[in-house]
Structures are given as structure tokens and as C-alpha cells.
Amino acid sequence: MRWLLCIVVCFFAGALVVAGEDPIKAKPTPEDFLGKWSGKWDDKWQVRFTITQDPKTKQLAVLYEWEEKPGKPLRKQRLTGKIDGNRLRISKETEITLSSKDPDKGKAVGNFKVKRTAELVREKEKDR
């Protein structure tokens, strides 16, 4: 009986954890990623992705800016983005996914020497 109770408790605990996560948008389009996205790697270092699209080639261009040391100017790198399933791959190490609940929220994952994550918010049109 105790074993059955443990299974039931674990099932509901897992359901609560999953319910608290923000699901990823299933089939994003290039337009879904356009704009200026800001956040902090591991809630510590500023990070910004400005994503634009070439009207002729439809290729996504990404201006990746990050803070290497708190308080110092942001470093910059221009990259090309490519949609891969439900994510935008910016480099071999970095990708962005979008919230299915809020079109102006996303998450960046950087698989560097140490894995980093950043909750991203897109600036509103008037702020850009």
C-alpha cells in the first residue's frame, strides 16, 4: 500500500513541475523571432540578441551582445540564425526557444564550457 501511495504522490508532484514550466512554441516562423531580446545569462551577465531578416534572402541575421564581466561594455558578434525544429540556432553553442504562452518571452541556452541559460523578453515595438 505504501508503494502505491508513493507512486501516486510522485505522479502528482511531476505533474505540478511540468505545469509550472512554460511550454515551447511548437512551430515558430522566422518572423516570430524578429526583434531585440534581452536577458541575463544565469541571472548575472547581460545578454541581448537583435534579430533581423534580409527581405531578399529571408536569412536571419543576429547581433549577439553579451557581458563578459559585470559592469564592462558589452561584447558583440554578428551571426546567422537558422530555425531548427522549434528553436533558432544562432551558433553551435547557442539557441533560442519561444514561449507558447507569450510571444514576447523566450529562453536562450548557451552550451559553452559551462551551460548558461537566460530568460529573454522582447522589447516592445515602440521601444526599438
**What is the per-residue pLDDT across 23-80, written as a single tens digit (0 to 9) for each?**
889 899 999 999 999 999 999 999 999 999 999 999 999 999 999 988 899 999 999 9
Whole-model pTM: value is 0.80
> Is the confidence at residue 17, as pLDDT, over 90?
no
Q: The cell 540564425 sits on which residue?
A: 81
Q: Which long-range contacts (CB under 8 A, 24 or more apart) does 76-83 make?
A: 81/33, 81/51, 83/28, 83/29, 83/30, 83/33
Any idea where the domains of the chain sit in the sequence? 24-127
Beta-carbon contacts of residue 105 (< 8 Å; ≥ 6 apart): 22, 98, 99, 119, 120, 121, 122
Classify residue 99 by its DSSP letter: B
- Assess contact for 120 and 45: CB atoms under 8 A: no
Topology, domain 24-127: Lipocalin (2.40.128)
